[in-house]
Amino acid sequence: MSDSKQNFTYILECADGSYYCGWTNNLDKRLASHNAGTASKYTRTRRPVKLIYHESFDTKQEAMSREFHIKKLTRSKKQKLIEKGSPR
């Protein structure tokens, strides 16, 4: 799924229905660490998590900027983004 030369912004849906947004350069490894409870204090108590949205970027700065933007969205706007689907 993930290419080491790319950076990803992602949204996870946690077991309690909440969303978690982050960025990484290894999507598979990050998803596994969230489900193992070793990635984030937030998702540690809300496992299991499911990847519901991701975007890929060429640079770390682009991914971090997109993550910042997504974190500022309201829950309803995040839902609309998720419904649109991950860019291909």
In a domain, residue 71? The reply is yes
Number of domains in the chain: 1
Tens of pLDDT, residue by residue over 72-85, are 999 999 999 999 88
Residue 2 banded pLDDT, cuts 50, 70, 90: very low
Tens of pLDDT, residue by residue over 17-54, are 999 999 999 999 999 999 999 988 899 989 999 999 99
In a domain, residue 2? The reply is no
Q: Give, for 36, the enclosing helix (H) or strand (E).
A: helix 27-36
Question: Residue 53 is part of a domain; what is its CATH number?
Answer: 3.40.1440.10
CB neighbours of 48 closer than 8 A, spacing ≥ 6? Answer: 15, 35
What's the domain range around 44?
7-84
Residue 86 banded pLDDT, cuts 50, 70, 90: confident
Q: Which pTM value belongs to this model? A: 0.86
CA 41/CA 85 separation, integer angstroms? 27
